[in-house]
C-alpha cells in the first residue's frame, strides 16, 4: 500500500482513527491532561503520582492510589470497612438516596466517601483518613463522620498523629442535620487528640469546600495543600451571586489561602510523603528532660552561676 492509499483509506474510514485513539485513552493506556491537553503514557503518569509531566497539573487521585502513594508497602491496616450508609430520612430527590448509595457503591467499589486505617510513613506510625471524591462528591454523612471520629479516637489512644487527605463538596444533604452534626462530632474528637499534644495534619486537595472546610480541614496543627486546589467555605457561584461581581482568578485556591494565612505550605504531590514524614519526625515526643539537661552542660553551669 502506497502512502497515498494509506491516506485514502484513512479518510474513508474517517472517524476510525480518532475513535481508536479515544479507545486507547479510555483503555487507560494514554491519559490526556485536562489542563494543558498533553497526552501522557498512563504508566508514566502513574509513576509520577498523576501529576502531569508537562505542566505539573495535579489530576484527581482516588483513595486507593493515595494510600499506596503515602503508606509504606505492607503496613496499611484498614479499619471500619464494615460501616455502611443507610437512608435515615428516606430521602428522595430525583432519585432515592438508597438507590444512589447502591449505585455509587457498585460503581466505585467503596462503602462510603472515606477510607481510614493505620499505617506507616517512612516507618513512622500514623492514622490516615483519605476522602474519595468519586463517592457522591466526597460528601460527609454519618459514615464519614463515624469513621473519622473512630480514627481520631484510636490515634489518641495509641498516641499517634492523624493525617486526613480532604476532598469533599461538604456535608451530605441526603442525611440532613445528621450530616451537619458530624462536623461537631469530628471536631470534638480532634479536641481530645490535640489536648494530648498529638499532631494532626489535614492535606487539602481539590476540592475542599463547605462543611469539611468549616470543620476538620481547618483544624490542623499544620495545614498542607496541593497546588491549585479549590478550597473554600461558600461555593464560588454563591459568592459571586452575593457580590454580583467577578471574583479574582485565584479566589479560593491553595495559593490564595496561603497568601491569606490559612495554609502553612503548598506541597506538590510528589513531595507529599516526604514532607509528611519530615513533619511527623520533627514533632515526635521530646526526649526525657534528664537527657536534655545532660546534653546541655553549658546551660546547667550557667544556671548554677546565676543561683550563686
Give the binding site for other proteins (CB under 8 A).
81-86, 88-89, 91-94, 142-143, 145-146, 149, 171, 173-185, 187-192, 194-195, 210-211, 213-219, 232-235, 238-239, 242-243, 247, 251-252, 260-262
- Distance separating alpha carbons of residues 38 and 54, to the nearest angstrom: 7
Contacts of 4 (CB under 8 A, 6+ apart): none
Beta carbons of 87 and 174 less than 8 angstroms apart: yes
Shortest separation between residue 218's beta carbon and other proteins, angstroms: 4
Q: Please identify, using beta-carbon distances, which residue of 38 and 239 lies nearer to other proteins.
A: 239
- Which CB, 67 or 223, lies closer to other proteins? 223
Name the CA dihedral angle for 141, 147, 149, 155, rounded to a multiple of 10 degrees.
Answer: -160
Cβ within 8 Å of residue 213, ≥6 positions away = 170, 231, 232, 233
**In terms of CB distance, is 31 or 205 closer to other proteins?**
205
**Nearest CA among 214, 187, 135, 199 for reference residue 163:** 199
Q: Which one, 124 or 239, has the nearer CB to other proteins?
A: 239
How many whole angstroms separate alpha carbon 249 and alpha carbon 35?
Answer: 15
**3-class DSSP state of 238:** helix
Provide the minimum distance between the beta carbon of 233 and other proteins in the complex, in angstroms, as a whole number: 4
- Least CB distance from residue 180 to other proteins, whole Å? 4
Cβ nearer to other proteins, comparing 128 with 189: 189
In angstroms, what is the minimal distance from the CB of 264 to other proteins? 12
Amino acid at each position: 500500500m502506497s502512502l497515498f492509499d494509506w491516506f485514502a483509506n484513512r479518510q474513508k474510514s474517517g472517524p476510525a482513527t480518532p475513535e481508536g485513539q479515544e479507545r486507547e485513552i479510555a483503555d487507560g493506556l494514554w491519559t490526556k491532561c485536562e489542563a494543558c491537553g498533553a497526552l501522557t503514557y498512563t504508566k508514566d503518569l502513574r509513576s509520577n503520582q498523576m501529576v502531569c509531566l508537562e505542566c505539573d497539573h495535579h489530576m484527581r487521585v482516588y483513595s486507593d492510589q493515595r494510600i499506596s502513594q503515602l503508606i509504606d508497602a505492607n503496613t496499611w491496616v484498614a479499619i471500619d470497612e464494615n460501616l455502611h450508609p443507610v437512608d435515615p430520612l428516606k430521602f428522595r430527590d430525583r432519585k432515592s438516596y438508597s438507590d444512589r448509595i447502591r449505585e455509587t457503591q457498585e460503581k466505585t467499589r467503596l462503602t462510603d466517601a472515606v477510607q481510614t486505617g493505620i499505617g506507616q510513613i517512612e516507618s513512622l506510625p500514623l492514622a490516615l483518613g483519605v476522602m474519595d471524591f468519586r463517592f457522591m462528591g466526597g460528601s460527609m454523612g454519618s459514615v464519614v463522620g463515624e469513621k473519622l471520629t473512630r480514627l481520631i479516637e484510636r490515634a489518641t489512644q495509641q498516641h499517634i498523629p492523624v493525617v486526613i487527605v480532604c476532598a469533599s463538596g461538604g456535608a451530605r444533604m441526603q442525611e440532613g442535620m445528621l450530616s451537619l452534626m458530624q462536623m461537631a462530632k469530628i471536631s470534638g474528637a480532634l479536641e481530645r487528640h490535640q489536648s494530648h499534644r498529638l499532631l494532626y495534619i489535614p492535606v487539602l486537595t481539590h476540592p475542599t469546600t463547605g462543611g469539611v472546610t468549616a470543620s476538620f480541614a481547618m483544624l490542623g496543627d499544620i495545614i498542607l495543600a496541593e497546588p491549585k486546589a479549590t478550597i473554600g467555605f461558600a461555593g464560588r457561584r454563591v459568592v459571586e451571586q452575593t457580590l454580583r461581581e467577578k471574583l479574582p482568578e485565584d479566589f479560593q485556591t491553595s495559593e490564595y489561602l496561603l497568601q491569606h494565612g490559612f495554609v502553612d505550605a503548598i506541597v506538590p504531590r510528589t513531595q507529599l510523603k516526604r514532607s509528611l514524614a519530615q513533619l511527623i519526625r520533627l514533632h515526635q515526643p521530646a526526649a526525657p528532660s534528664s537527657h536534655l539537661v545532660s546534653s546541655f552542660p553549658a546551660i546547667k553551669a550557667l544556671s548554677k552561676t546565676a543561683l550563686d
